[in-house]
Structure 1
Amino acid sequence: MSRKGFPEVEQQYIDHAREQTLTALTSPETPQRLRRYYCVDTDYAGASFTRITPNPSDAISASDLLATSMLSVSIPAHSVRLFVEDKGTRKTVRRLLEALPDRRLEDAKGKHFAPMSDFYEFVKANLGQAGAADPNPWVTASKLTARKRPDLFPVRDAAVCDFLGLADLRDFGKDWRVFRELMRDEQVDDVLDDLRDDLKDLASSSPCRVKSDKERLRVLDAALWVHATDVDPAPCDEHEARD
């Protein structure tokens, strides 16, 4: 993979991903699905993934690993020790985090691909040490990098990649390129704004205690996931029981 910039992706993949994204964002059930996903009284991670503290800007902490594990992945014990206790690993993580661009994915340029790739690949390597249950933990690595920089790294959940038609690309850089194109698309941008407004209105008139993400990329990711996995749009059982 070239490290000079985001890799090229055939237009057919971008067009299909855009069509699927617009379908998910404009579905009348998506605001209700997101309400459930972001309700603090459910077992969904939405209300906590980016909010659990501390979230240090220069380290991967135990709270980062906890937040990541809430997205239905496991962090190997050896990896926990490396990220939290090993001085050499922590030093490298600090250097890689400091090298990341302070910008959103849609604003990232070709020169930013290398530091993004360096951080992702280092995290992935330390999650897939010899003897680990998952020798290629790309999903976990994507979720952990998204926890650290939620405006820059998409979660790349397997269900979302399948829904967008990206699974056969098998290339994190190409996935990032597609997500960057989605975030730059004017129509996607408009309907994402509408969806966030709809969610806000729905939350204000609902007994659900909703804490949604501030980052646009995270809301896009969440909307795609709740649509792709067919999350129940009904209010959570906790509130139904109270009624």
Structure 2
Amino acid sequence: MTLPDILSADRTNEAAALLKKYYTKLYDLGVPQSGSRFDDWAGGGDRPNAVDTLTADDVLAVSFLCVQVPAQAVIGLLERSAKEVSELLAQIPSALDLASVKTEEYEALLGPESAAIGLWRLLRGNGKLWGIGPTTASKIMARKRPRLIPIFDSVVGPLMGHTTPEGQWKTWHSVLTDGSGLQQRLRSIKTESGIDKDISELRTMDVVLWMHGKEQGMKVIEDSGHDDLAN
């Protein structure tokens, strides 16, 4: 695919400004945009003592990105299915960047039979009506594996050529590994922004695209039920 122009080499300064605005602008009562705390709330979703466990803090952090995990799903995932969630998380690398996944490793890590897709299916309810849509599921997974799993929503998805999550992981992997230097640009964007946040390259890319899309007038559409897989 052709990357959105905001991620081109000659717009690094503009992208850095968008990233800085997202993380530093103060709103009513002098508080930052809630999404700016998604990454590090309660130490982050991939902190050592919770890296393979879905916690109440993770659910709360996901709400900072303007989605809600339905109460029935919270109970199901944190109690009834907690062991299964943890077993799947333990099989998904927490210290691996999507850009570092080799082509020959992709299917095992993110393909249809992978633990990542197993977790996606579980979050989506395995056909049950838990009410977790693809955007919410992607944000839960991005909270737990911020270096490996991108977020899908109605702004960033279309900018990356996807109106549903189907195939979007592979698209992100492709653009990060096609030799165009995107990974290095994302690092430069973060450095130039001057933000004091330990965020992943995926999160840098997500925020830049989301801010760009919003400034272009793209609308946030409420999360809805799609059964498409993200790989």
Q: TM-score range by the shorter chain?
A: 0.7 to 0.9
How far off is 1:30 after superposition?
A: 2.6
* Shift in Å, 1:182: 1.9
What is the rounded CA distance, in whole Å, between the counterparts of 2:25 and 2:197 in structure 1?
A: 10
Structure 1 segment 220-231 matched on structure 2, within 5 A: 220-230=205-215
For residues 64-105 of structure 1, give each alpha carbon's deviation from its aligned partner in whole angstroms, at most 9, with x where no partner exists.
Answer: 00110110101101111122233xx00001100011134211
In structure 2, the residue matched to 1:77 is 71
Please report how far the alpha carbon of residue 19 of structure 1 lies from its aligned counterpart in structure 2 after TM superposition: 4.5
Q: 1:193 to 1:156 in 2, by over 3 A?
A: same
Partner of 2:147: 151
Query: Bigger radius of gyration, 1 or 2?
Result: 1
What is the DSSP-based 3-state SS (H/G/I as helix, E as strand, rest coil) of the residue aligned with 1:155? coil
1:112 aligned partner: 109
Which residue is 1:47 aligned to?
36
Partner of 2:87: 95
- Give the Cα separation in 1 of the matches to 2:109 and 2:72: 30
Instruction: Give 1:45's aligned amino acid.
Output: S
Secondary structure in structure 2 of the residue aligned to 1:158: coil
- Which runs of no fewer than 5 residues in structure 2 stay unpaired? 217-231
RMSD across aligned positions (CA): 2.6
Question: Deviation digits for residues 107-146 of structure 1, max 9, x if unmatched?
Answer: 23221121211111211227x842x5x4x60000001100
Code of the aligned partner of 1:112: L
- Tell me, yes or no, if structure 1 residue 164 matches structure 2 residue 160: yes
Identity among equivalent pairs (%): 26
Paired AA for residue 144 in structure 1: I
Q: Aligned in 2, Cα 1:29/1:40: closer, same or farther, shift over 3 Å?
A: closer
Partner of 1:237: none
CA contact (8 A) 1:24 1:227 kept: no
- Tell me what 2:183 maps to: 189
- After TM superposition, the score normalised by the length of structure 2 is 0.76
Output the amino acid matched with 2:77: F
Identify the structure with bigger relative contact order (alpha carbons < 8 Å, sequence gap 6+). 1
Residue in structure 1 matched with residue 18 of structure 2 by the alignment? 33
TM-score of the superposed pair, with normalisation by structure 1 = 0.72
Q: Could you tell me whether the CA contact under 8 Å between 1:182 and 1:188 is conserved in 2?
A: yes
Q: Which residue of 2 aligns with 1:234?
A: none
Cα pair 1:24 1:224 within 8 Å, conserved: no
Which structure features the higher share of helix residues?
1
